[in-house]
Amino acid sequence: MVLDAHLDTPLVLDRPGFDISARHDPMHDYAQIDLPRMREGGLDGGFWVIYTPQGDLTPQGYEDALAHAWHRNSVIDKMMTDHADDFMPATTADDAVTIVAQGKHVVYKSIENAYPLGMDITRLDAFYDAGVRMVGLVHMTNNQFADSSTDPDGPKWNGLSPLGEALIQRANELGMIVDMSHAHDVALAQAIDLSTTPVILSHSGAGHLYEHPRNVGDALLLDLAASGGVIHINSLSAYLKDLDTDPARGAALSALFKQLHENPLKSEADTKAFLKARRDIDTKYPPDFASFDDVMAHIYHAHELMGAAHIGIGLDWDGGGGVDGLQDITGLPNITLAMREAGFSDQDIGAMWSKNLLRVLRYVEDARNLP
């Protein structure tokens, strides 16, 4: 069974004209996942992400974000109801087994950025009821719960805020996996100590290979492993190695995505204009990709450091992932081949593709303990 811990495809699902049952080209349509390629690449599913961009820490900001998050949740549900023969909702580890046995695809839900919960952590309960089983506390900048690894102003809370600690406790009580990708190292270390269940990184890399704030160094990875946690390896090029990309490219892309967030696509014509604007940026400032071997290097390093039981796959599809030789999920079998060539056992390969993630989910389920 092949699961990915962090599928950002819900960002693509509500693009006017997007059809998940049709095949897309990653470099022309900017869509890395659809049913034909899931079948070809052997991706059975994973955690489909309710992502909310960070905004102001104000009542209005929280209200807007909450509406945004619930809408994103409904987009995932719409995919399942529109394609009930292909996708099935999963909330327990056993569900994945049953769903794959029926030849269908597995839809777990996760939250990336808990910002929409505002100052009321019990808002998490309704997301649990809606099927969410993983919560990522923070994204690119600090929020009310935790410091981000990439906030340009540096840490605000020195790790977790008191509300962030309460949120982890609530996730433990409900039976949700705590995802610390994007969090500052100090917040990650605190979460490992505080959480009564193993913490995961849903899409991160090895700081030993490239000291980027989104990656995690060896000492902390060993702490993660010692607590039963799992790092899922990312394929976002700029986190895998030091790339000499024109900063103007990043600025142009940021401007485009800001515009997209403020003016959501309303029609297929809007979608076409957006995709053309993205291609124009690629032409003007060509992307600088890491390679397939760079992804494998992070996997190998994590494997050498922690052993197979603490590694998984979270390639950040439709959220920035993609390298030369692995621009969409059709390349997943090459990861398996490479792992085989590197001498990994079938059992280890199976652990990395899904069993480690399901082990954590099972732990979290069993620990569910509402007061």
Using CB under 8 A, which of the segments 35-43, 68-76, 192-200, 301-309 binds a second copy?
A: 68-76
Please, what is the minimum distance in Å from the beta carbon of residue 349 to a second copy?
A: 31
User: Using the rule CB under 8 A, is 367 a contact of a second copy?
Assistant: no
User: Using the rule CB under 8 A, is 14 a contact of a second copy?
Assistant: yes
Please, what is the minimum distance in Å from the beta carbon of residue 153 to a second copy?
A: 27
Please, what is the minimum distance in Å from the beta carbon of residue 111 to a second copy?
A: 13
Q: What burial letters (b/e) apply to 309-322, b meaning 16+ CB within 10 Å?
A: ebbbbbbbbbbbbb
Among 25, 82, 246, 280, binds a second copy (CB under 8 A): 82
User: Using the rule CB under 8 A, is 63 a contact of a second copy?
Assistant: yes
Distance, in Å, from the CA atom of 138 to the CA atom of 136, rounded to the nearest integer, reads: 6
Given the complex with a second copy, which of 30 and 70 has the nearer CB atom? 70
Given the complex with a second copy, which of 66 and 200 has the nearer CB atom? 66
Instruction: Answer for the pair 299, 307: CB distance below 8 angstroms, yes or no.
Output: no
**Tokens, residue 64:** 């807007």
Where in 128-187 is the site for a second copy (CB under 8 A)? Answer: 129-131
H/E element, 337: helix 332-341
Task: DSSP for 227-284, please give it.
Answer: TT-EEEEP-BHHHHS-----HHHHHHHHHHHHHHHHS---SHHHHHHHHHHHHHHHHH
User: Using the rule CB under 8 A, is 18 a contact of a second copy?
Assistant: no
Please, what is the minimum distance in Å from the beta carbon of residue 7 to a second copy?
A: 17
Please, what is the minimum distance in Å from the beta carbon of residue 359 to a second copy?
A: 25
**Tokens, residue 263:** 């003016």
**Tokens, residue 260:** 């997209």
Distance, in Å, from the CA atom of 52 to the CA atom of 57, rounded to the nearest integer, reads: 13
Contact code string over 245-284 relative to a second copy, x by CB under 8 A: ---------------------xx-----------------
Instruction: Answer for the pair 147, 159: CB distance below 8 angstroms, yes or no.
Output: yes
User: Using the rule CB under 8 A, is 17 a contact of a second copy?
Assistant: no
Among 71, 156, 208, 249, binds a second copy (CB under 8 A): 71
Instruction: Answer for the pair 280, 253: CB distance below 8 angstroms, yes or no.
Output: no
Among 52, 73, 202, 356, binds a second copy (CB under 8 A): 73
Contacts of 1 (CB under 8 A, 6+ apart): 44, 96, 97, 100, 350, 353, 354, 355
Contact code string over 97-136 relative to a second copy, x by CB under 8 A: ---------------------x----x--x--xxx-----
On the CB side of 56, CA atoms within 13 Å amount to 6
Please, what is the minimum distance in Å from the beta carbon of residue 102 to a second copy?
A: 11
Please, what is the minimum distance in Å from the beta carbon of residue 110 to a second copy?
A: 15
| Length reported for the chain | 371
Among 60, 102, 153, 343, binds a second copy (CB under 8 A): 60
DSSP state of 345: -
Please, what is the minimum distance in Å from the beta carbon of residue 17 to a second copy?
A: 14
Given the complex with a second copy, which of 170 and 301 has the nearer CB atom? 170
Q: How many CB atoms lie within 10 A of CB 268?
A: 12
| Binding interface with a second copy (CB under 8 A) | 14, 59-60, 62-63, 66-67, 70-71, 73-75, 77-78, 80-82, 84-85, 88-89, 118, 123, 126, 129-131, 266-267, 370
